[in-house]
C-alpha cells in the first residue's frame, strides 16, 4: 500500500510525501514522484497528514473499559449533583446491584447520608477523578463490614465523624475495603477499553497496572489485541511472571511502584505542606522502592514509579541514581507533576523517561492554586523537563481523564498558569509517538522509516481519523 500525505517522519528526514508499506513493515519513504515511479501498480490512498502511530503512554485500559459502562461525573464538584445522577441510576437497577461511577472532584469530603437517601437499597461506590479517594453509601459499607471498630488500613484513611464512625469517605488504600466487594472487571472490560483506544487512533498503549496480566496474555494468544500493549505489572504480584514479549503485540516490561498519592485528594507527598498543614501520604516507602526495585531489575524488568509531589520526586530521583548500575531498561517516572528547581539537575545522568499527562492541567489548574499557593511554578514543568534532554512520553491516565490527544495538545501548548512551560505542537506529537516509544524501550517504533513497524496514525484537521496497524488501514 502506498500512502500520500504530509508525513511527519520523526527522523532527520523531517517531512516526506509518500510512504510505502509492505506487510506489517514500512518499506520506503520519500517524495510522491519517486515512490509513484518505484511502485506504479500499487494501490494508493491520500491522507492529509500521517504520523508514526500514537502511543497512549499511561493508561488503565481495563478500568477505562469499565468506566465506559459506568456513571460519569466529569466536571461535577457538588455532591448534590452526583447524588442526583445516582438517584436516576438506582431507578433503573434491581435492588442489591452495585452502582459505580467516578470523575467528580469535591472541595470537602461528603458523608454517606446523601447517597443513603437516593439509593438505600443499592450499594454505591464512587471514585474521585484522580481515583485516590472514594465516596460510598451505608449499604456498601455494611457489605464491606466497615464500622467504628474498623482500623485505618496501612496507607489509607477512613474519614470519621466526632464519634469515630466512618462517614462513607475513604482515602487511598482504605478504598480497597469496599473495592474488594465490588464485582471485578474482567476480559470484557479490558477488551472494550483497548478497542476504544484503537478507535481514537492509538496504535500502542502503555498499561500502568490494576489488571491481571493473564487477561492480556489471553488476548495476545488469541490474536485479539487491537494495539501493541506495553505492560507494567503491579508490585505485589510480579514474581510469578517472566519479562518479555508474548507474540508481537504484548510485552511485559516493567513493575509499577507508587511513591505517593495525588494532588486532588491532597495525598501527593510534598516538601512544603498544604494549607491545612498536611504533607500527603507515602504509599511505597522509598526504602522499599529501592530494595524491591533491586529485585525487579535483577529479574530483567524495568521500573515504573508514580511520583507526583515534590518530596516523592526528590526521593525517587535519588533511588534511581542508586539503582541505575543494575538497570538494563530505561526507568520511568510517572506524572512528575511538582518539581522544585533544586531537583531539575538531578534528572541529568539518569537513563530515565518522564511520563506526563499535560491534560491534567485543564482540571488541576484550580487545584494547584488552591492547594499549592505560591508554588505554582513547580507544577507541570513541561519545558523545564523537556530541557533535561530525557524523553517525555504523554498519555491521559485514562480513566482519570479521557484519552484525547487534543487535550494534551491544548494544555501543553497553552499552559494555564505558566506560559514559560509551553511546548510546541511538534514537541507534543513527538512525546506521543517517538518519545513514548523510547519510554517503552522500543527503539524501532515511533519513526517513519524503512524497516519500522507499519503503525501509523492518520489525521485530518489535526484530529485522528484513522490509523494503520500492522500494515492494515482503518478509517473511522
Ligand atoms: Zn495511572
Q: How far is the CA of 335 from the centre of ligand 1 (A)?
A: 9
Instruction: Give Cα 305 to chain centroid, integer Å.
Output: 12
Q: How far is the CA of 116 from the centre of ligand 1 (A)?
A: 30
Cα separation values, 217 from 1, 82, 240, 294, Å: 31, 37, 14, 26
Q: How many helices (H) and strands (E) does the chain have?
A: 15, 22
Looking up cell 531498561, which residue turns up? Answer: 329
Confidence class for position 264, pLDDT limits 50, 70, 90:
confident
Q: How far is the CA of 401 from the centre of ligand 1 (A)?
A: 10
Q: How far is the CA of 368 from the centre of ligand 1 (A)?
A: 19
Rounded CA gap, 248 and 470, in Å? 10
Is it the case that residue 27 has pLDDT exceeding 80?
Answer: yes
pLDDT mean over 430-458: 98
Domain boundaries, the chain: 1-53+447-476, 55-61+185-445, 71-179
**Backbone dihedral angles phi then psi of residue 333, each to the nearest 5 degrees:** -105, 130
Q: How far is the CA of 79 from the centre of ligand 1 (A)?
A: 24
| Joined grid coordinates for residue 400 | 482519570
- The pLDDT value recorded for residue 204 is 98
Indicate the helix (H) or strand (E) that contains 157.
strand 156-160
Q: How far is the CA of 188 from the centre of ligand 1 (A)?
A: 20
- The pLDDT value recorded for residue 459 is 98
Q: How far is the CA of 358 from the centre of ligand 1 (A)?
A: 13
Cα separation values, 44 from 18, 19, 351, Å: 10, 10, 41
- The pLDDT value recorded for residue 417 is 85
Q: How far is the CA of 22 from the centre of ligand 1 (A)?
A: 36
Q: How far is the CA of 81 from the centre of ligand 1 (A)?
A: 26
Cα separation values, 283 from 162, 177, 267, Å: 27, 16, 9
Q: Are 73 and 126 in contact (CB under 8 A)?
A: yes
Percent helix, strand, coil in the chain, to 5, is 30, 30, 40
Q: How far is the CA of 348 from the centre of ligand 1 (A)?
A: 25
The model carries a pTM of 0.86
Q: How far is the CA of 179 from the centre of ligand 1 (A)?
A: 17
User: Which contacts qualify for 213-218: CB closer than 8 Å, 24 or more apart?
Assistant: 213/241, 213/252, 215/62, 215/186, 215/187, 215/190, 216/190, 216/246, 216/250, 216/252, 217/246, 217/250, 218/187
Q: Is it true that domain 71-179 has CATH number 3.10.310.70? A: yes
- The pLDDT value recorded for residue 199 is 97
- The pLDDT value recorded for residue 222 is 94
Rounded CA gap, 282 and 260, in Å? 5
Rounded CA gap, 52 and 426, in Å? 13
Q: How far is the CA of 58 from the centre of ligand 1 (A)?
A: 6
Instruction: Select from 13, 5, 34 the least CA-distant residue to 448.
Output: 13
pLDDT in tens, 139-194: 999 999 999 999 999 999 999 999 999 999 999 999 999 999 998 899 999 999 99
The residues that bridge with 171 in the sheet, in sequence order, are: 133, 157
Q: How far is the CA of 173 from the centre of ligand 1 (A)?
A: 15
Q: Are 446 and 438 in contact (CB under 8 A)?
A: yes
Q: How far is the CA of 131 from the centre of ligand 1 (A)?
A: 9
pLDDT mean over 361-385: 90
CATH of 55-61+185-445, one of 3.40.50.2300, 3.40.50.300, 3.20.20.140, 3.30.530.20: 3.20.20.140
Name the residue with higher pLDDT: 323 or 209.
323
Q: Are 32 and 42 in contact (CB under 8 A)?
A: no
Measured torsion, CA atoms of residues 368, 369, 371, 377, in degrees rounded to the nearest 10:
60
Q: How far is the CA of 381 from the centre of ligand 1 (A)?
A: 19
Q: How far is the CA of 36 from the centre of ligand 1 (A)?
A: 45
Confidence class for position 452, pLDDT limits 50, 70, 90:
very high
All residues at 6 or more sequence positions from 157 whose CB lies less than 8 Å from its CB, including other chains = 170, 171, 172, 174
Q: How far is the CA of 60 from the centre of ligand 1 (A)?
A: 6
Is it the case that residue 84 has pLDDT exceeding 80?
Answer: yes
Rounded CA gap, 355 and 28, in Å? 31
Q: How far is the CA of 308 from the centre of ligand 1 (A)?
A: 11
At the second CATH level, the architecture of 1-53+447-476 is Roll (2.30)
Is it the case that residue 265 has pLDDT exceeding 80?
Answer: no
Count of other CB atoms within 10 angstroms of residue 239: 10
Q: How far is the CA of 307 from the centre of ligand 1 (A)?
A: 11
Indicate the helix (H) or strand (E) that contains 314.
helix 310-323
Q: How far is the CA of 375 from the centre of ligand 1 (A)?
A: 24
- The pLDDT value recorded for residue 464 is 96
Q: How far is the CA of 85 from the centre of ligand 1 (A)?
A: 26
pLDDT in tens, 106-148: 999 999 999 999 999 999 999 998 889 999 999 999 999 999 9
Is it the case that residue 416 has pLDDT exceeding 80?
Answer: yes
- 381: number of CA atoms within 13 Å, CB side? 21
β pairing state of 166-172 and 124-128: unpaired
Is it the case that residue 307 has pLDDT exceeding 90?
Answer: yes
Q: How far is the CA of 349 from the centre of ligand 1 (A)?
A: 26
Instruction: Select from 225, 234, 270 the least CA-distant residue to 469.
Output: 225
Cα separation values, 398 from 67, 78, 130, 204, 357, Å: 9, 22, 10, 14, 10
Q: How far is the CA of 397 from the centre of ligand 1 (A)?
A: 5
pLDDT in tens, 276-301: 899 999 999 999 999 999 999 999 99
The residues that bridge with 157 in the sheet, in sequence order, are: 171
* 3-class secondary structure, 205: strand
Q: Which of 234-248, 297-311, 356-370, 416-430 has the lowest mean pLDDT?
A: 356-370
Q: How far is the CA of 400 from the centre of ligand 1 (A)?
A: 7
Q: Are 243 and 300 in contact (CB under 8 A)?
A: yes
Amino acid at each position: 500500500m502506498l500512502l500520500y500525505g504530509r508525513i511527519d517522519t520523526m527522523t532527520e528526514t523531517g517531512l516526506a510525501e509518500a510512504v510505502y508499506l509492505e506487510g506489517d513493515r514500512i518499506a520506503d519513504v520519500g517524495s510522491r514522484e519517486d515512490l509513484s515511479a518505484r511502485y506504479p501498480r500499487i494501490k494508493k490512498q491520500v491522507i492529509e497528514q500521517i504520523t508514526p502511530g500514537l502511543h497512549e503512554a499511561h493508561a488503565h485500559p481495563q478500568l477505562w473499559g469499565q468506566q465506559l459502562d459506568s456513571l460519569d461525573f466529569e466536571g461535577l464538584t457538588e455532591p448534590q449533583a452526583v447524588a442526583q445522577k445516582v438517584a436516576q441510576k438506582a431507578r433503573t437497577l434491581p435492588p442489591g446491584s452495585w452502582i459505580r461511577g467516578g470523575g467528580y472532584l469535591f472541595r470537602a469530603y461528603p458523608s454517606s447520608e446523601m447517597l443513603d437517601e437516593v439509593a438505600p437499597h443499592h450499594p454505591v461506590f464512587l471514585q474521585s477523578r484522580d481515583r485516590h479517594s472514594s465516596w460510598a453509601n451505608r449499604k456498601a459499607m455494611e457489605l464491606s463490614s466497615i464500622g467504628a471498630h474498623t482500623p485505618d488500613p496501612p496507607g489509607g484513611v477512613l474519614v470519621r465523624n466526632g464519634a469515630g464512625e466512618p462517614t462513607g469517605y475513604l482515602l487511598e488504600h482504605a478504598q480497597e475495603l469496599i473495592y474488594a466487594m465490588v464485582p471485578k472487571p474482567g476480559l470484557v472490560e479490558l477488551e472494550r477499553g483497548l478497542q476504544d483506544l484503537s478507535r481514537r487512533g492509538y496504535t500502542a498503549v502503555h498499561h500502568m497496572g490494576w489488571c491481571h496480566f493473564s487477561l492480556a496474555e489471553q488476548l495476545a494468544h488469541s490474536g485479539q489485541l487491537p494495539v501493541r500493549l506495553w505492560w507494567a505489572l503491579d508490585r505485589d504480584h510480579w514474581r510469578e511472571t517472566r519479562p518479555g514479549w508474548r507474540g508481537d503485540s504484548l510485552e511485559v516490561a516493567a513493575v509499577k511502584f507508587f511513591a505517593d498519592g495525588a494532588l486532588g485528594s491532597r495525598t501527593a507527598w510534598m516538601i512544603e505542606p498544604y494549607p491545612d498543614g498536611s504533607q500527603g501520604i507515602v504509599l511505597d516507602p522509598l526504602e522499599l522502592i529501592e530494595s524491591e526495585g533491586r529485585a525487579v531489575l535483577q529479574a530483567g524488568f524495568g521500573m515504573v514509579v508514580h511520583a507526583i509531589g515534590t518530596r516523592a520526586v526528590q526521593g525517587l530521583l535519588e533511588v534511581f541514581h542508586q539503582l541505575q548500575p543494575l538497570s538494563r531498561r530505561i526507568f520511568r517516572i510517572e506524572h512528575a507533576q511538582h518539581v522544585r528547581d533544586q531537583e531539575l539537575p538531578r534528572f541529568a545522568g539518569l537513563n530515565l523517561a518522564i511520563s506526563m499527562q499535560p491534560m491534567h492541567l485543564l482540571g488541576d489548574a484550580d487545584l494547584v492554586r488552591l492547594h499549592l499557593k505560591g508554588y505554582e511554578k513547580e507544577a507541570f514543568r513541561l519545558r523545564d523537563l523537556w530541557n533535561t534532554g530525557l524523553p517525555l512520553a504523554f498519555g491521559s491516565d485514562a480513566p482519570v481523564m479521557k484519552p484525547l490527544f487534543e487535550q494534551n495538545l491544548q494544555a501543553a501548548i497553552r499552559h494555564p498558569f505558566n506560559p514559560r512551560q509551553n511546548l510546541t505542537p511538534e514537541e507534543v506529537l513527538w512525546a506521543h509517538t517517538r518519545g513514548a516509544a523510547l519510554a517503552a524501550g522500543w527503539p524501532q517504533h515511533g519513526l517513519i522509516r524503512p524497516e519500522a513497524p507499519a503503525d501509523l496514525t492518520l489525521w485530518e484537521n489535526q484530529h485522528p481519523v484513522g490509523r494503520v496497524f500492522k500494515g492494515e488501514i482503518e478509517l473511522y
